[in-house]
Amino acid sequence: MNARPDPMPEWAAKGTAAFEAAVHGLTDPGLGRPSYLPGWSRAHVVAHVARNADALVNLLAWARTGVETPMYASGGRRAREIEEGARRPAEELRAELLTADSRLAAELAALPDECWAATVRTARGREVPASQVPWMRVREVWVHAVDLNTGTTFDDVPHEVCAALLDDVTAAFRARSDCPPVELRAEGDARTWLLGVPGGAVPAAVSGDLSSLAAYATGRPVPGPLYPAGRGPLPKLPAWL
């Protein structure tokens, strides 16, 4: 069975290039400045993205060999490695990112077709086919390129990736009782996304362009205007990831 997840590897490659370019443009002192993520500097974001690449390599090894290989040894160790990475000299941290990215790209390209259907487990304990691994990297690099707070916004994220992010958020919030019912409507596009538990209260409609809707749904800075029905306030959404 060929379950190779096109076009996800291409999206991951483009997102990786965007993230690396943003990091390359930072001065050494700039890496220590705040990111959009509370309590994290830009160096924390870079260290996290590098360690995530290693974690996804673990999942690909699991898919290839059948030997259970968790993404992270433990949540505590993951947090420590991010803190340690954020304290490393800037050039060392940049080099670690590039090495980790290259290793993941090589593993994605080399995984045999029959292995993409193998079941692996995410850090949150969800069982998924290995074909989800490229998407896990797509959302990581594109969203965190915005989180670096260097000028990249969701307007820079490809529209097809924004739409896939909205699909991801919709699936994540479908069973979340803390998510208000909201219907996202893309301007100039027939697609809509219903957030929250289906069958509840009438959802509040929010319209805007794809980029701004994806930013809003993922809890990131919104690059353009959004229009709640009735001109009321935007419903407050729970944290996505």
CA distance 196 to 203: 9
φ, ψ for residue 146 (rounded to 5)?
-70, -45
Q: Is 109 exposed, middle or buried (0-12, 13-18, 19+ CB in 10 A)?
A: exposed
Low-confidence ranges of the chain (pLDDT < 50): 1
pLDDT score for 1: 41
Contact status, residue 64 vs residue 26, Cβ threshold 8 Å: no
Reported pTM: 0.94
pLDDT score for 175: 81
pLDDT score for 3: 66
| Encoded tokens for 213 | 């809707």
**What domains does the chain contain, in order, with CATH numbers?**
8-152 (1.20.120.450), 158-231 (3.30.1050.20)
φ, ψ for residue 181 (rounded to 5)?
-70, 120
pLDDT score for 38: 96
Biggest CA–CA distance in the chain, Å, is: 55
* DSSP structure class, residue 114: G
CA distance 119 to 228: 40
